[in-house]
Amino acid sequence: MDEQKWRKDAACLHEVQRLVDIGWVAEEAYDLWFPLGSECEGVDAAHARAICNGGTWPGADGRVQESCCPVRRECLEANIDQKHGLFGGTTPKQREQIRSNRLRRNRRRAVRA
């Protein structure tokens, strides 16, 4: 998929806009995808992870929201080397594991060829 095409469907962009519309500062809204802590697995990351992966969280109006990003796969592939932040619903540690698994798989294929 064309890079610009998938980005316009990014659930985080729509969520940031929603938060800005209810009074958040845009930078603070974007920071939800860059939570403190190298593993991005704490409570601070729960909202962003729910937007990426699907899940429920209390919205600003107190009602339960549900979401899952439609371009999670494209986002992950475009950001597989990112060392910080949540992309494709993955933490930096998870992306490192994916890269490592792919490398091992490719080496095994090369040995067999």
Binding footprint of ligand SF4 on the chain (CB under 6 A)? 10-12, 33, 51-52, 69, 71-72, 75, 86-89
CB of 103 to ligand SF4, least distance (A): 23
CB of 61 to ligand SF4, least distance (A): 20
Neighbours of 107 (CB within 10 A): 10
Q: Judged by CB, which is closer to ligand SF4: 12, or 40?
A: 12
Q: Judged by CB, which is closer to ligand SF4: 71, or 109?
A: 71
The DSSP secondary structure of 33-100, one letter per residue, reads GS-SSTT--SGGGHHHHHHHH-EEEE-TTSSEEEE--TTHHHHHHHTTT-SSS-BTTB-HHHHHHHHH
Alpha carbons within 13 angstroms on the beta-carbon side of residue 107 total 6
Q: Judged by CB, which is closer to ligand SF4: 36, or 111?
A: 36
